[in-house]
Each structure stands twice: as C-alpha cells, then as structure tokens.
Chain A
Amino acid sequence: MRIIQADEITQVVRDGTMAAGTDLEPDIMDALTRARDTETSPLSKNVLSLLLNNAVIAKTEKIPLCQDTGVAVVFVEIGQEVYVDGNLENALQKGVAEGYKDGYLRKSVCDPITRVNTGTNTPAVIHYEIVAGDELRISLLPKGCGSENMSALTMLSPSVGIRGMVDFVVDKVVEAGPNPCPPVTVGVGMGGSFEKAAILAKKSLLRPLGEPHSREDIRQLEEEIKQAINEQGMGVHGFGGNHTSLAVHIESFPSHIASLPVAVNIQCHAHRYKKIIL
C-alpha cells in the first residue's frame, strides 16, 4: 500500500489548474502550428497566427488563454494500492478553488436554478475510476462552455449503422458553425449506455491531439469524420479554409443489442489540460 497525503493532492491540483489556464501543452501548440502552416484561407491563417501569439502571451505573462477558464472537469484514476491520508474529494475541490483564485482565473460556476455564482469555480465535476497499481493519476480538463454548449448525445437505432453515427457527428459539428471556436477537437463516445457515451466523449479529449485510435476500423472512422467536417470549408472561426477540425477522437464501449448511444463533445482550439501522476 502506498500513502498519499491529501495536502499534496491539493497542492498539485492547485498548481495544475493555474498552469492549465495559461499554458497550452506541446501537442496542442504543434497542431495549431501545423494548421497555420497548411491553412488555405488568408484570414484563417492570420487568425491561427494570432492564436499562437495569444498562447505565447498567455504563457509568458500568465494571462489566461481565454477568459472562459471553464468548468473544472477532473478525471481521477486511483490505483487500488493507494491509500489517501485525508479526504480525497475535499482535497481535489480545495485544489481547484485555490488554483482559480491564485491564478486569477474566472469563476464561472453558478447554481443552475438561481444562476448565483458559487464564487470559487467549484464544485469541480470529478470522475473517479479505480485502477490497478499504486499510482494516483489526475487529469485536469477545464472546459470552456462555448464548445461544451455545442455538444450533443443521441440514442440511435442500431439499424442506422456506422453511416448513421458518422452523419450524426458531422452534422453536430457543422451545425455548431463558428460558435465553439474552431478549429475544434471532436470527442466522440460510441456505445456503452447513456452516461457512458458522454464520459467516453469527454475522456477522449485527453488523448494526445491527433493520436489515432489503436483499432484500425475506429482510426479510419476518425479520419473519415475529420475529412467530412473539413470538406465543408467552414474553417477557423467560420472564416473559411481547410481547418474546421484539428482531430476527431473516438472511444467506444460495447452497448446493449437494442441500443446505440453516440455522444459528441466539442472542444475549442484553446484545448487546455494538465495530467498529473502521483
């Protein structure tokens, strides 16, 4: 058994939250740079340059990349040999609250009924998973809601087949138009149950950007969907060109014989995340 102190968890979550708000990870910078270098629309090319420049200013001066510093989504994988000394949930929530306060990140979380702001950007949305081993892995995925609001889930009839799933995903991204700040990363959950599909779609966003799925047929679907989206020519911020989507990430899970849930979780170009391993 391995003991991890709750205070240590709070500290790394605080630091990670602050860093996620201002620093894009190298895979995201690389994808934006590649897009800029191969963009066909002059205005979109300029905007991609601006976004890269924005990332440099944000990182250097510690100004948030985007004022929407998101709802704090946290994926926690707890090794079954780990013992947390203290209250894990409280430690995580405290780390998020401190990160938003100390990082001058925007507090965007409110009660859904009264719309009164909680003032701390908590509660974070935390997904726990128990895994093998003695590590505690924490992935921070602050999610801006311009893109979150363009997400969707449907319960398809299995008879629609692969074509039905592809069309649903492409249609959602095209319908969203410039609203979610393209170029977007499209997270897709196929199968499972109602809630499983949504979690798969969200979690797929944590895959290194553009890394293909290990299953060949899924990898092909990812490529097919990305091409279908980009062929529409909506482009960066809706200004035209060949980069509406930087990547499509699909995760799948077996579903009931009567069921075919499909979830689409759209992520904006300011794709912020931070992965921590204790």
Chain B
Amino acid sequence: MPESTSPLFTDLKPVSLPLTKETILSLHAGDLVGLNGYLYTGRDQTHRRFEELLDAGESLPVDLAGQLLYYVGPSPAQPGQVIGAAGPTTSYRMDKYTPRLMDLGLTATMGKGMRGKEVREAISRHQGLYLVAFGGAGAYLSKCIIQAEVVAFADAGPEALFRFKVENFPAVVINDAHGNDYYEMVKNKQA
C-alpha cells in the first residue's frame, strides 16, 4: 500500500495467503482485511477455459485447492511497473462456475458485488470465503501487488490466469464460513 494512503486503513486485519482453515473460521462478514501472499486471478474467459478443461476430463493449469481466486483483468503494465490497474471485476458473472471450482477445493474468491444463491451455499458447505476488493480503485490496488506473472492462457490478454504476490491488499469479507452475508447485514441494518 502506498505510504500516503496507509492512514486510510489503520485497522486492516492481516491475513496470510493461502488461507488456513483456522484463519477462515476466524473471519466474519464485515471484517476489513489486509491480504499478504500469493493468489491466482481469473475472470470470464479464464473460467470458460477452466470449464472446457474439466468437461474434457483434463486438469486445470494450476491446482486451485486451498487458493484464493481474484476476479480481475488488469490493464497492461507500463515499463518498470509490476502490473497496471488491477481492481476487481463484478463477481456474479463467475457464479455459474464457482460451485464446481469450490467442490474441487477452491477456498476463497474475491471480486465485487453480490453472489448468487448457489455460490453462497457452496461457501457455507465448504466453509469458504467471499471477499470484495474496492471497485474502481485500480491504480491504488496496483501498488499492493508486488509480483505478477502469467501462468496460463497468455493469449487471453487481460483474461489470462495470473499469479500475484500481494502485500497489505485491502478487502472486505462479504460471505463468511458461518453463513453471514455483509451486504444483507447492511441492508437489514445489522451492520
């Protein structure tokens, strides 16, 4: 996180990636976390390709078991940059694919906006997690990504599967392993 902005979030709860079961169970809807470690990225085309591979009985290019998948299609890095703008994309478009990936061991997802019923049920069933990053803060969030490499589907451009190393990457827990939904809590004035 850039120094000039650190006072904004003095109370980020540090969370290491990949997530442990213990960490997941300790997190609750509405928690503001700072993510540290490695995660994978994917969005529309990435998921479509995951599905094609799985339908053909093949394995995915990376083992997503225990991992966090961040829905993002970054803008291109300029010379000397790790990555371009890299804020979240809207998550519901991945809803169709998420329960199947969670059945295969994917632990957590991060994007922006609401998830559908099937995804929320999958999160509860697997004791997983759904987080949102701050939409439209792509320039700021690019500073929290300290390494980036394409690990598969390079031809898909921004829809490639990247591996990021993040540092103090801010996010909010929306759906926790205990069945809570932060958006619902806000709507019902419970937050």
Contact = CB atoms under 8 A, between A and B. Distances in A.
A and B bind: yes
Contacts of A178: 112-114, 132, 135, 183
Q: Chain B: interface residue count, which band?
A: 35 or more
A57 B8 CA distance: 15
B139 A54 contact: yes
B99 to A, nearest CB: 20
B73 interface: yes
A55 B134 CA distance: 13
Contacts of B45: 115
Interface residues of A, number: 47
Contact of A149 (B9, B87, B90): B90
A50 B90 contact: no
Contacts of B156: 117
A269 B138 CA distance: 12
Contacts of B139: 22, 54-55, 57-58, 61, 63-65
B106 interface: no
A234 B183 CA distance: 8
Interface centre among B5, B78, B113 (most CB of A within 10 A): B113
Given A65-B139, A106-B74, A53 B90 contact: no
A123 interface: no
B76 interface: yes
Given A104-B75, A107-B157, A178-B112, A54 B186 contact: no
Given A178-B113, A178-B183, A106 B189 contact: no
A54 B137 CA distance: 6
B25 interface: no
B140 to A, nearest CB: 4
Given A64-B75, A67-B84, A51 B137 contact: yes
Given A50-B8, A106-B75, A178-B183, A64 B138 contact: yes
Interface string B43-56: 01100100000000
Given A64-B85, A66-B85, A43 B32 contact: yes
A54 to B, nearest CB: 4
B186 A181 contact: no
B186 A235 contact: yes
Contacts of A149: 90
A171 to B, nearest CB: 15
Nearest to A238: B183
B32 A104 contact: no
Interface in B4-57: 4-5, 8-9, 32, 44-45, 48
A66 B78 CA distance: 15
B67 interface: no
Contacts, number: 149
A46 to B, nearest CB: 6
Given A53-B140, A54-B136, A65-B139, A106 B158 contact: yes
A63 B157 CA distance: 18
Interface string A229-242: 00001110111100
A108 B157 CA distance: 9
Contacts of A55: 139
Given A50-B8, A177-B114, A237 B90 contact: no
B73 to A, nearest CB: 6
| Nearest 3 CB-CB pairings of A with B | A179-B113, A58-B139, A67-B85
Interface of B: 2, 4-5, 8-9, 32, 44-45, 48, 72-78, 81, 84-87, 89-90, 92, 112-114, 132, 134-140, 142-143, 156-158, 170, 172, 183, 186-187, 189, 191
Interface of A: 22, 43, 46-47, 49-51, 53-55, 57-58, 61-69, 104-108, 115, 117, 119, 144, 146, 149, 177-181, 233-235, 237-240, 268-270
Given A43-B172, A53-B140, A63-B138, 12 more contacts: A65-B136, A66-B138, A69-B75, A104-B77, A105-B75, A105-B76, A107-B157, A233-B187, A235-B186, A237-B134, A238-B183, A268-B135
27 contacts: A43-B172, A46-B8, A50-B137, A54-B137, A57-B5, A57-B139, A62-B78, A63-B85, A63-B139, A64-B139, A65-B85, A66-B87, A66-B137, A68-B89, A106-B85, A108-B73, A108-B158, A115-B44, A115-B45, A144-B136, A149-B90, A178-B113, A178-B135, A235-B186, A238-B113, A238-B183, A269-B136
